[in-house]
Structures are given as structure tokens and as C-alpha cells.
Amino acid sequence: MPNTCKIVISRRPAPAIQKAVFLGILCLFLTQPAIAQQALNSGTFLLARIKYNGGGDWYNDPSILPNMQSFLSRNQILACGAEARYVELTDDALFSYPVLFLTGHGQMAFSDQEAARLKLYLESGGFLYADDDYGMNDSFRQQMKKVFPDKQWVELPFHHEIYRIVYAFPQGVPKIHEHDGGPGKAYGLFHNGKMIAFYTFNTNISDGWADPEVHKDPESVREMAFQMGANIIAYALTR
């Protein structure tokens, strides 16, 4: 079913941002009710982290999702719940979350059933944000090929809406942690002309969401990470 709503919220005052995100969710509900139902429960929007097999640490930095949700609520971008949620791709609850998050350092493995479920979820209106926490890139790309054998990741240009929908990032995705040198990279996966997954590499956005003592990032760096996270979530809910 095609998306029938386009909400642009770049550089608006906070109350207008929150209203636009809610309207975007409402529009998603009209086209994809199973995916959007959870997000329409006022004050209970929650990101859900994918729990995967294969040996990688899907669970690292447990403070990141509650902190990101707190930033969204505090800045009046989206009213969120406080707790972290974890979901396996075979769980019945999968389709209750409009945005999924995935990270880790090592190997991951999707069964055929899990790959089929993630494909159905994304083609039904859901959105995936994946952040390489250094060391998952090869494995993640291999597993996403099981989900979409014929799709390719596309590096996003700096003028893409995801870099300006709430906060301005004219040079693209910010660099939060140094891993391999060079700039951070960001890629989109598209279905019927619409981005369904966003992948950041060599930047580690989500490490900047952790409690301050975990990585000891300067507050200015953590703020950039939260702002980019807000852009990702706002884009996912209003595309």
C-alpha cells in the first residue's frame, strides 16, 4: 500500500515538530495500521532493539534507547516511554513497533524465518535503523542480503531530508567515535522508492546515546549524536 502522506518538519519550533511527527504517525496508521498502532498510544512510543543470534553483542550499552527516548520527550519532538524494549524477529510483538534498532560489534545470523519476517515488516511500513558499533559491517550486510537479495545499499547525499528534518547536518552524518579513520558513512535501503532502512558506518551514532560515564564523550559530541538520532526517528515516522 503506498504512503499517502508527506510531512516536512525541518527547522520548526518544538511544538510544531511534535505535532508533525504525530500527524506522520497518524498517516502511517491509515496506510499501515499494524505497524503504527503502538506509536499512536500517547506517551508510549518506544524504540525496540532487535535481539539476534550469531554471537554478536546485540545487547551492548543498555542505556542508549532510554536516553534517546528521553531526548525526544525532553525536546518535545515525540512523547516517549522510558524503558528499553527488545524484540526477536519471530516475536508476535514485532509489528507493534514502527521503528527497530540494531547494533553490535560482531557476528549476527538471521534464520530463513527471521529474514522473511524482517522483509515483511519493512515492506509493510516498518523502519530499521542499524548502527555499526565497529565490527558488525560484513556480517550485517550478509544477513541483509538474505532479507533482500536484489536490493543494494545506497550512500545518501548530504542534501537528503534525513540530515535536515529536525536538526541541520549539512555535512551529512556526524562522526561520534573514531574507528577506521575518515568520515562517517550513511546508507539507505529503498523499497518502491521509499527508504525502509538506514545504516550508519564508521561513526557509531548510538554510542553517543549512552550514559556519559560509559564512553566519556564530550557533551557537544553526545548532543550531536542525540540530534542525529532525532532526525532518524522523525524521518522514519514521517516519510
* Contact yes or no for 86/49 (Cβ under 8 A): yes
Establish if 181 belongs to a structural domain. Answer: yes
Q: How far apart are CA 34 and CA 22, in angstroms?
A: 16
Establish if 8 belongs to a structural domain. Answer: no
Q: How far apart are CA 175 and CA 181, in angstroms?
A: 10
pLDDT band at 34 (very low <50, low <70, confident <90, very high): very low
Establish if 174 belongs to a structural domain. Answer: yes
236: Cβ–Cβ under 8 A, 6 or more apart, which residues? Answer: 98, 99, 127, 129, 198
Which CATH number characterizes residue 85's domain?
Answer: 3.40.50.12140
Q: Which three cell numbers stand for residue 23?
A: 500527524
More confident residue, 169 or 38: 169
Q: 78 lies in which domain range?
A: 14-196+204-238
- 237: Cα within 13 Å, side-chain hemisphere: 33
pLDDT digits (tens, 9 = 90+) for 110-137: 999 999 999 999 999 999 999 999 899 9
Establish if 224 belongs to a structural domain. Answer: yes
- As for how many domains the chain has, the answer is 1
Establish if 3 belongs to a structural domain. Answer: no
CA 114-116-117 angle, 5° bins:
65
Q: What is the pLDDT, as a whole number, of residue 179?
A: 76
Q: What is the pLDDT, as a whole number, of residue 22?
A: 53
Report whether pLDDT(26) > 60: no
Establish if 1 belongs to a structural domain. Answer: no
Establish if 2 belongs to a structural domain. Answer: no
Establish if 188 belongs to a structural domain. Answer: yes
